[in-house]
A and B are shown apart, each in its own frame.
Chain A
């Protein structure tokens, strides 16, 4: 997951794309250490711990990682795609921005 995510973020620099992490590692300081150690540069929200984090709870997340992919209008378009499949989906959605009128 992480190596591929790092690559994807680098590859899509300057494109209309954001990887937004919702992290369940318990505290801001714990997350800070991980971000530095793992060279994670994309935005991350610290969402407490599994079972208490309000965002993960509202989104009914019971397994980590859980992935949602949203298009530029904010619509949920894919769930739980990882690595190459995630990249394919993201590319497709970025293409849609410049080619409006696509179905869905």
Chain B
């Protein structure tokens, strides 16, 4: 079931998607990528139906490494080179890191390594990096924890912008906290003391950077760490059922309760 859980996280990460950019050329690039992605999966679906209906063999589709990915990796890389040193390069470099699929892995590819190095070398102090860090939240699964921890720590140290510091601190805290799930495979396990450090960082982001998007998210994790841990009494809540009738958690006291947060949407 561990696998299932991470699939959900990855789907969430994909749904978040990259934010809209003012730069038209970058927008075009992103649009082209999304179209190529949609076309690839649509073709795959069609081929699957065809082979099923006509009982013919399925043509080869490289799902792990679809050809459009290689094409767009080089396009995003070219864009990043063209914008070298400017904040405009940041989303393209981040795209290259998030484009890495698969995992769990603690060995970043050459493309990822080079993108991380460029971010470290030329963009640590730029305020705009705050807007792109959210997308990296789940990338540790495919590129490893260590390079991302180093990146976030460097941003916290070098960047004077409040939102950038908040975003890097939140991502660092999230990474440290994620390494402590019981369902984490060995290559994703954190070190002793990470959980405490994460808690401290979440508190700091929620308190010192109030008003930033990172602070609101950090607040959720502070609450989780203080009220929703194993051994703690579940906080009361209430809500309406399909008929609008109120259901309170406390009305089930005395019974074993499975809380299932679910949806089909």
User: Which residues of A are interface residues toward B (Cβ below 8 A)?
Assistant: 1, 5, 16-26, 28, 31-32, 34-35, 43-47, 49-50, 54-83, 85-86, 90, 93-94, 97, 104
Knowing A44-B241, A49-B265, say if A104 contacts B260 (CB, 8 Å).
Answer: no
Contact between A94 and B242 (Cβ–Cβ < 8 Å)?
no
Shortest beta-carbon distance from A16 to chain B in Å:
4
A-B contact pairs, 12 of them (CB 8 A): A17-B257, A20-B260, A25-B263, A34-B264, A45-B240, A60-B220, A60-B224, A70-B256, A74-B250, A75-B234, A90-B258, A97-B256
Contact residue range for chain B? 35 or more
Bound-complex Cα distance A60 to B237 (A): 14
Q: Give the chain B neighbours of A54 by CB distance below 8 A.
A: 239
> Considering the chains assembled together, what is the distance between the CA atoms of A72 and B9 in angstroms?
31
Chain A residues near B263 (CB-CB < 8 A): 23-25, 49-50, 64
From B20-28, B101-109, B225-233, give the one contacting chain A.
B225-233
Known: A69-B257, A75-B231. A25 touches B264 (CB 8 A): yes
Chain B residue numbers with a CB within 8 Å of A58 are 223, 235, 237
Given the interface pairs A21-B260, A75-B233, the reply to whether A59 lies near B228 with Cβ below 8 Å is yes
Q: Are B265 and A76 in contact (CB under 8 A)?
A: no
Q: In the complex, which residues of chain B have a beta carbon less than 8 angstroms from the beta carbon of A83? A: 1
Residue from B183, B252, B256, B262 with most neighbouring chain A CB atoms (10 Å):
B256
Q: A23-B263, A65-B262, A81-B1 are in contact. List 18 more A-B contacts (CB 8 A).
A: A16-B256, A17-B258, A18-B252, A20-B249, A20-B252, A24-B262, A25-B265, A28-B243, A32-B242, A45-B240, A45-B241, A46-B241, A62-B9, A67-B258, A69-B259, A73-B233, A74-B249, A80-B183
